[in-house]
Amino acid sequence: MRYDQLLSLVALYKPRSIVEIGTNQGDRGVLLCREALRHNPVVAYTGYDVFDTKDAEFHKQVFNGKGAFAKERVAARFDEINSQYPGFQYRLLQGTTAETLHSHDVRAEFVFIDGDHRVQTIALDYDAVKHSKVVVFDDYYSEAPDCEKIDTSIYGCNSIIDKSKSATVLPNADRFPATGDIRMAALVKRHVFFRGRPIWF
């Protein structure tokens, strides 16, 4: 349920540039790009992931339960979009975000952070993209009956979002016995609407 909100946000803000931290097998990225292309003929996507270069112990440490996939397999899915939309461009950057992202100032109209689930890494990921217009975080954890409690000092974006005066925790949640309720949260730069389109300042 919570991921449906991503498409609503893309439909609202109509980004021409999308960054996804944690591309995984491309499910979310493909949907984001196709929705963005409904509103703009030119869309650029950049995806960050370790893909299949790390072992099971690494994925356990970063709290990734979605598996790992080869970069070439994921690229084929974006190649298909490119074949249908000549104005679409993409890049897949392989490696940890400490290697590929943290030394850069990356600015996009829409960013989705869902990679390494550790608090320290999420904070560094956000610091690299903080000048972007819309930044959406996955993995905002809330306690739920009959579910285990996640230590939010170690995992998730709670500590970042709870310190922000302008963050919005999105309402839709998915519940899992091992985590409780998982929501997303968004930080949007200030804007006004003019004829239905956001003007940023």
The pLDDT tens digits of the residues spanning 109-131 come to: 999 999 999 999 999 999 999 99
More confidently predicted of 196 and 37: 37
Number of domains in the chain: 1
Q: What is the pTM of this model?
A: 0.90
CATH of the domain at 114: 3.40.50.150
Residue 69's pLDDT is 83
Provide the 10 A C-beta neighbour count for residue 188: 18
Residues paired with 110 in a beta bridge: 18
Decide: 112 and 32 in contact? Cβ < 8 Å. yes
How far apart (Å, rounded) are the C-alpha atoms in residues 97 and 7? 24
The terminus-to-terminus CA distance of the chain in angstroms comes to: 31
User: In the numeric block, which tokens belong to residue 123?
Assistant: 């904070």
How far apart (Å, rounded) are the C-alpha atoms in residues 171 and 153? 22
Residue 13 has pLDDT above 80, yes or no: yes
Decide: 149 and 167 in contact? Cβ < 8 Å. no
Identity of residue 126: Y
What is the residue range of 187's domain? Answer: 4-200
Q: Quickly state the pLDDT bin for 191 (edges 50, 70, 90).
A: low
Convert the pLDDT of each residue in 63-109 to its tens digit. Answer: 776 777 899 999 999 999 999 999 999 999 999 999 999 999 999 99
Which residue's entry shows tokens 């609407």?
193
Q: 23: buried, middle or exposed (CB in 10 Å: 19+, 13-18, 0-12)? A: buried
Q: 30: buried, middle or exposed (CB in 10 Å: 19+, 13-18, 0-12)? A: middle
Convert the pLDDT of each residue in 45-67 to its tens digit. Answer: 999 999 988 878 887 888 776 77
Provide the 10 A C-beta neighbour count for residue 59: 16
Convert the pLDDT of each residue in 138-177 to its tens digit. Answer: 999 999 999 999 999 999 999 999 999 889 999 999 999 9
Residue 201's pLDDT is 44
Alpha helix segments (H runs only) across 95-151: 97-100, 119-129
- Residue of 194, 24, 39, 195 whose CA lies nearest to 110: 39
Residue 64's pLDDT is 75
